[in-house]
Amino acid sequence: MSRRFPSFEIASLGSISATLITLIAVSGCGENVKFNNPLAKKPAQTQATSKPAPAAKPAAPAAKPGPSKEELARRTMIRTESIRGGTSRFSSGKSVGANATVEENVDRLRTEIASSIDFAPTLIVWVVDATQSASEMRQSWSTAAKQLYSNFQTNGLPGGKASDSLSTAVVAFGEKTIILQDPTTDLPAVVSKVGTAFPTDNSGKENTFATLNQVFDTFGPIKQKESRELLVVVVSDEAGDDWMQVDAVTEKANALGARVYAIGVPAPLGRKRPEVAAQETRSDGMPAMLQGPETRYSQRVDMKFSSGGFGGDDVDSGYGPFSLGYLTNKTNGAFLISRLRSSQWPGSSMRFDDETMRKYPPQYLTEAQYQAKLAENKALAALDRAAQQGQVEAMTYPASQFIVEDEARLKNALDGAQRTAARLEPLVNAIYDPLAEGEKDRDKITDKRWQASYDLALGRAAAAKARTDGYNQMLAILKGGRKFEDPSHNTWKLEPADTLEEAGSRLEKTRLQAKEYLERVIKEHPDTPWAYYAEKELETPIGWKWAEY
């Protein structure tokens, strides 16, 4: 790839055409619609045509072999069919995928409700986040739910089903769980309840999975006693502070035969929380707004870029936070992404093309399965270890100009500059060392997301090590004595360069390793967030050279 990515800026999204997409088949990657990616090449323009449906054939073709388990798992991440007819998401009308509102996503559940009550009487439990940060989402849900049930009250339930075919309960949660509406088939009562103001929880805590556990314990027996289907819909802008309970809660949901849906915001790629300021605080002083990552544990090293600049580190992953994505995936529900215009996250964060990102779904593995993957591959274990380290600063503006007035002053200046590298060196090594040690198992990785994540991590860590250690070594060389080629010069300047040969063969080898892995990401994973980060890392030369003035 010879082109450079443009500097970080987000274009206005505009209107993207789409038909709505099947819910049951999917969890994660939001609606998987066309993302606004400023890095992607523009596709060739094609003229859409409309063709009449072909006549039905008298005999169906022979059945093909069923898909593999892996293919089935990936399909649950990708919406490919429309729930309102048609097969193209880019034909006409407004796209609910690019910037779906909570109201639009609530309306999409109308089809799921219709399908469920057509099969059997159904109990739906709305589980709504009552914390401050979710106030807009909560209000939008209230408006949409009131409209949904008012429509049922006026026009009857879908398919002409009797009113007792649908029972509704409403639960609010934050630090505590509050049942606002016991199960009822009284539609006017539901309209009244969902349209009233919710209590606000100011704790900033989201005990999402403790609430879901209580929901299943409370409403599961009702489901069984009344022989109803059980649909649970979580409305929240976070992942849940107690997300580690997800495996147990998922098992309980499946034991009951419950399907779980979630309406929420996308996770920041590889991060628990984005860099934007949180919209609430917690009463216990702990960090608020846990909104990611999209994988069970982060697979992204937390390193700043030497190129500096504003923005570019946060990327809209296109998938919900792992906890709710996993739960909805494993219960045959769906995670429906809402991107609120007034919310700081995801706001105008960078987004990437759907057709590309659908090739990189998170692996929805249990805790035991995830740990087994790490145990059997040293590269994956190294990536996991490196991604758990704290944030590493970049050498964005290190001291680079040294005036030779006398040896004592030069030595003091060089000693001070070397302290910068000495402070960063152990932090960089804590990330680089395990990744380099696990390199022998790199070629055993088969999952595209893990391939891209490992290669980017090792490339960036090697670049940071080459820059940091190279800077320190180049200063040591000057400290050991270096003569000006031009006697009239009295200043040495350390400049970024695509070489570290003067610093020694070991560091030059590390620089070349960084270059190899970063370029590999760009080549093998084009137009992805990983390629973007690799390009951004390469914006600054990895080596150093001395220039005299």
The string of pLDDT tens digits covering residues 326-372 is 999 999 999 999 887 677 777 778 888 878 888 999 999 999 999 99
Helix (H) / strand (E) containing 184: strand 177-184
pTM of the model: 0.80
Residue 394: predicted pLDDT: 83
The 8-class DSSP code of residue 129 comes to: E
CB neighbour list of residue 370: distance below 8 Å, 6 or more residues apart: 296, 297, 363
CB neighbour list of residue 49: distance below 8 Å, 6 or more residues apart: none
Q: Hey, is 1 helix, strand or coil?
A: coil
> Tokens for 368?
């035991």
CB neighbour list of residue 118: distance below 8 Å, 6 or more residues apart: 158, 159, 161
Residue 66: predicted pLDDT: 52
**Mutual angle of helices 448-479 and 529-538, in 10-degree steps:** 10
Residue 167 forms beta bridges with which residues? 123
Burial (0-12, 13-18, 19+ Cβ within 10 Å), 383: buried
Q: Are the C-beta atoms of 387 and 458 separated by less than 8 Å? A: no
Q: Are strands 543-548 and 491-497 parallel, antiparallel or unpaired?
A: antiparallel
> Tokens for 276?
């934007």
Residue 169 has a CB neighbour count (10 Å cut-off) of: 22
> Tokens for 510?
């590390």
Amino acid making up residue 243 = W
Please list the ranges in the chain whose pLDDT falls under 50: 1-64, 69-98, 310
Residue 193 has a CB neighbour count (10 Å cut-off) of: 22
CB neighbour list of residue 503: distance below 8 Å, 6 or more residues apart: 469, 470, 473, 474, 477, 543, 544
Spatial CA neighbour of 79 closest among 97, 94, 93: 97
Amino acid making up residue 279 = Q
CA dihedral 207, 209, 211, 215 (to 10 degrees): 170
Q: Are the C-beta atoms of 424 and 461 separated by less than 8 Å? A: no
Residue 311: predicted pLDDT: 52
Q: Which residues of 459-479 are buried (b: 16+ CB within 10 A; e: fewer)?
A: bbbbbbbbbbbbbbbbbeebb
CB neighbour list of residue 304: distance below 8 Å, 6 or more residues apart: 313, 391, 392, 393, 394, 396
Residue 481: predicted pLDDT: 86
Phi, psi of 524 (to 5 degrees): -90, -20
Amino acid making up residue 233 = V
Spatial CA neighbour of 304 closest among 390, 421, 429: 390
Residue 494: predicted pLDDT: 94
